[in-house]
Structure 1
């Protein structure tokens, strides 16, 4: 499923228990074989322990004055922030070479290139986008504007043109981060990078064009039909595979740092691809004994790990927290923060997980999806996993690899029940 990476025996964070697909049913007995009402006493205590931390992760650190707000998704996103106070932006790790996934793509000259290896010229970019034609504009985000383009060999691409803010150090850093991260990865569920251009004030990234919009647009039904619960589960599994690859199977683990629904792109078959690596960071080097990266806080309000927000210590478990919020978003169809709702429902994860522990999981299912008994069972299992992901302490969160196992097993056991 993934590529390979040499593991260090000293790191239990990035070396989860070995598994293979399909996993054995016993691997997930706590998720797949419980009766509908079992496990609630066990998780009620857990939900109480995490409820108090939700408010902290929906606002920037105390030092607001140093916080930079913007919308980071190039395909239509939500408010993000980066705090420049409280910690230095340093990584205790080594540089690495490109990681290669096992997935192959179309056999044309551009696709055969190494990820991110092509250095485009402005003439090629102008030709691909018809001089940045407004008719080809497909998105707007904190990084800049995204245009649909076509390369000379016929490859459809998304051309991300940065804002011409040469003195904006944040945007410059995001450009370099995205180039670095995208050039190191290749996976079916990650947006592929073809190359870039950096000339004068122009900073441009050319990536794979994914034609069917963002996950958030589909949850809002902007892109057509309602996503079934089965489709939502498939999307959750795709995303889990992508993040697992970043954390475990690259030459040096990568923390995405901005997992959210507007950074998940869907193709025509509703296969998910994780996009926007502007906030990505290399994780701590396990071989040197480091457990975290000390770095300024970056991410999106509503998805931010409260432990990272409090300590400035970044680990792969920060992505796990964001993923737990995303699981709740997939089930409910709601955004992480719903400011216009009644007070008890404004923080979606806190509201939904409270309903789950009270035995009312089916009540939080997106009203556009059928509320059947079978769907109720699936919702309970997904929310139980989400509850673990958003634990207030990172040591209590599962690895992304474990998340993929659990969701894979839910789909396997409930395939005939999902509607």
Structure 2
């Protein structure tokens, strides 16, 4: 064998040369083809890498020299969805200068020899991959390397000592990894550094190395979320070229050193979310280049320096501190100011009258201070003001007429001031405003018909003022309105019918006014209505039975009116958390479902009501003194009952015969269109025969759901959507979204849509049947005992895999937009399926990272991400927040919104407050066995991570799946948390989008 090796080598050489001559491809092309064979390419991103080419210079991602020998100088395969190990063969390209594999699924670890042949490399970007293990030490041996980006991976351990030996490195990006030693001082030896980015790593607690002050060429220093403690070293003031300093999300304390004021070239300083104290340093006026300064969420005090406000700032954020005194007049001189956030301080005095006069002010947030005086009239002179947030101050005077011409406004919050006067007519009709909050002031006058122009208005909150007159019918033209809170005013007249038919309306509060007339019977068209409070008015007539058909109503208060008649039995269809009909003129018996002690306080002060179970009401059947008469009457009733029973049975039999014949007639008359998405073993007439109320298993905001047992023994679920095709012309209740989305999805954890049936009057969706209903129905009912922790964990993982498929494996990606426990269905074995895609949106590439902007908030209360509710921006981070709420539900056993949490709190806030004060064990579901405490705590941490208020801090769904799998019962690696239950910062993702990076 040894003697044969030279012969074998010669044969191999000839084979290689023969192949090369046959293909016409040069050696560099052969190297690249080998790289292609070693990678998984599901999107066929490397389709242009054709072996028939002479050179690879025309291939995607390949750049060559312009002159002979046309060697490859750059290989950029970023954002290509490639998977596999690091292609070390790329280093065999002799003149390679640039190698980028960013945002792929490159995994495994990097061997010490990975870069041994990359001697010419100047630019290396492996960010946003899945690489594990230690940072590569030998990369420091590359003599010409200038840019090294290994961010957003899973590197762990310490930064190698060899990194002190970089000769020409200018950019070092290691943020968003699992590095867990301390930040080493030897990085100061890389004298050529221009950018140092180490943010969001779980470093051991330690100080900012003072030696970093030696990096005199440094322009960017990003150390967010690095577990930094101690004070800010004065040596950072030596970084004369620094333009961006970011030390946010740490535990730095003490004073801001005065030496920082010597940073003459600094453009941005971000110090928020630390424990810094004391006043701002003197001499800030020397920082002539400073445009953005943010020291929010600290313990700073004193006054805001005049010299700071005298700079030509673009953004000033000092919120959540303890500043006192006034806002310096110098702030009005800035010609760049677009953002001023000073909320939650103790600032007082007037708002400078010239604010906004000379600058393109976009956002003004002074909430929660003690500002007084009148509103500045020129605040929107630049014509770009979008957010005016001044609530919880002591402002007085009228709303300036000039505000009515501020067409750019989208959020106005003036609640809880001392403002008065009439609201300008044009202000009611601002076209882009989606939040208008004027509550708790002394405004007067009427809501004017101009409100019809406010086509984007979603939340109208004007309660606790002195508004009067009738509510104009034009409010019904505000089609996106989902919340109208107008209680405690002086409104008169009837409730406009145009208001109660708004399809998006979720909350209607008009309590304690002088409204009169009868309640509109067409209120059943308001199918999203969740809260209805009309207490303390003068409504008369009967309670409309149609209220009982509102599918999601859970708060109903009609107390203290002049309502008469009986309580409609249809109200028993509602699932009410709050119910009050007290103080009316109702008569008759209380419907059986309400005839118990739970509703004792719901019917007070209705003398005409009776009940055999509620103590304070008279009995409905008074006993007679004559027992003989009682016996006779009883006999008569029994006989009448028998006759009635026989009659009803006969009538029901005849009715079913008639109904069956009518259905057959309809089938003959109507032409049904069947669209199938899988091979079917049934016909549409089998499905139609099952659309009977006896088979009804659910009713929601979009329609009714029936259980259909087919002739082949298979069971399916049929959703019949509300309304006819004509009625749905303006909004099809999610039919198109459901069909377009589910029709093309194939995943074991997404509910299967068998087919859809349509005719001119009806739309049906036929799904696989899920025997155990929804997770929400089981988890929050007496059946919750069926869900032990292993089953809950299984549901969490499977639901996460379903959402991960939508976000990462569908092209283009799909955002569900209504992730909640009621939209996770359970089969007979408690396998989980994500369902109900009526709100789903496809994220086209054109939307970019910000996502699509919706005209109004969609989703379910308790599950809506905070930034979605305020910005209406749709992206996958909204789904991740909602899924985090589901995880918290599984771990705690509690609903997303519950009176137990206190006013203005939801499950996320409740969990956070309890965990931080008492520890995670105090929020775990007590019904589960204690032996799963560790696993439950791990999933709790994943849920808290997903519900981070900052979208940047939430992991992708693919990473959520990975984190959940690490929470299994045998896993040794747990999602990290500190002993007090607080999340470690190194799980922050997408840090490259962080606002601190210039």
Question: TM-score per shorter chain, which class?
Answer: 0.7 to 0.9
Q: Distance in 2 between matches of 1:262 and 1:204?
A: 20
Say whether the 8 Å CA contact 1:246–1:254 is kept in structure 2: yes
Partner of 1:155: 714
Distance 1:180-1:168 versus aligned 2 partners, 3 A rule: same
Q: Which has the larger radius of gyration?
A: 2
Partner of 1:107: none
Partner of 2:952: 395
SS at match of 2:764: strand
- Confirm or deny that 1:123 pairs with 2:724: no
- Confirm or deny that 1:205 pairs with 2:762: no
Return the structure number with greater strand share: 2
Q: Which segment is superposed worse, 172-181 or 214-223?
A: 214-223
Partner of 2:236: none
SS at match of 1:167: coil
CA displacement 1:268-322 (0-9 Å, x = unmatched): 2111111111001101327x85641222331111101121222221111110010
- What's the TM-score once normalised by structure 2's chain length? 0.32
Partner of 2:834: 274
Question: Structure 1 regions of 5+ residues with no counterpart?
Answer: 53-59, 81-112
Q: Distance in 1 between matches of 2:702 and 2:736?
A: 12
Say whether the 8 Å CA contact 1:182–1:192 is kept in structure 2: yes
Q: Distance in 2 between matches of 1:332 and 1:134?
A: 36
Q: Distance in 2 between matches of 1:378 and 1:144?
A: 38
Q: Distance in 1 between matches of 2:835 and 2:250?
A: 35
- Confirm or deny that 1:234 pairs with 2:791: no
- Confirm or deny that 1:134 pairs with 2:693: yes
Say whether the 8 Å CA contact 2:552–2:701 is kept in structure 1: no
Structure 1 residue 266: Cα displacement: 0.9
Partner of 2:780: 220
Q: Distance in 2 between matches of 1:163 and 1:325?
A: 29
SS at match of 1:164: coil
- Confirm or deny that 1:382 pairs with 2:939: yes
Structure 1 residue 10: Cα displacement: 4.1
SS at match of 2:833: strand
Say whether the 8 Å CA contact 1:303–1:336 is kept in structure 2: yes
Q: Distance in 1 between matches of 2:860 and 2:868?
A: 12
Question: Structure 2 regions of 5+ residues with no counterpart?
Answer: 1-40, 46-76, 82-101, 109-129, 134-153, 157-176, 181-203, 206-225, 228-248, 252-272, 274-295, 298-343, 345-433, 437-457, 460-477, 483-503, 507-526, 530-549, 555-674, 975-998
Structure 1 residue 16: Cα displacement: 6.8
Say whether the 8 Å CA contact 2:888–2:908 is kept in structure 1: yes
Say whether the 8 Å CA contact 1:10–1:289 is kept in structure 2: no
Distance 1:114-1:161 versus aligned 2 partners, 3 A rule: closer
Q: Distance in 2 between matches of 1:305 and 1:363?
A: 24
Partner of 1:364: 923
SS at match of 2:967: helix
Greater relative contact order (CA < 8 Å, ≥ 6 in sequence): 1
CA displacement 1:213-272 (0-9 Å, x = unmatched): 111122124436342222211111001100000111123211111110011111121111
Q: Distance in 2 between matches of 1:135 and 1:333?
A: 32
Distance 1:245-1:206 versus aligned 2 partners, 3 A rule: same
Q: Distance in 2 between matches of 1:341 and 1:44?
A: 33
Structure 1 residue 117: Cα displacement: 8.0
1:183 to 743, 751, 754: 743
Q: Distance in 2 between matches of 1:284 and 1:214?
A: 30
CA displacement 1:61-111 (0-9 Å, x = unmatched): 552361213469xxx98679xxxxxxxxxxxxxxxxxxxxxxxxxxxxxxx
Distance 1:5-1:212 versus aligned 2 partners, 3 A rule: farther
After the TM superposition, which residues 159-178 of structure 1 pair with which residues of structure 2 at under 5 Å, given as runs?
Answer: 159-165=718-724, 166-169=726-729, 171-178=731-738
Distance 1:77-1:383 versus aligned 2 partners, 3 A rule: farther
Distance 1:345-1:307 versus aligned 2 partners, 3 A rule: closer
CA displacement 1:309-360 (0-9 Å, x = unmatched): 222211111100101111111111111110x325279411111122223352
Q: Distance in 1 between matches of 2:824 and 2:676?
A: 23
- What's the TM-score once normalised by structure 1's chain length? 0.72
Q: Report how many aligned residue pairs link the two structures.
A: 354
Partner of 1:83: none
Partner of 1:97: none
Partner of 2:656: none
Partner of 1:304: 864
Return the structure number with greater helix share: 1
- Confirm or deny that 1:413 pairs with 2:970: yes
Partner of 1:254: 814
Q: Distance in 1 between matches of 2:677 and 2:155?
A: 36
Distance 1:188-1:28 versus aligned 2 partners, 3 A rule: farther
Aligned residues: CA RMSD: 4.1
Partner of 1:353: 912
CA displacement 1:356-379 (0-9 Å, x = unmatched): 233521111112113x2x533223
Distance 1:291-1:175 versus aligned 2 partners, 3 A rule: same
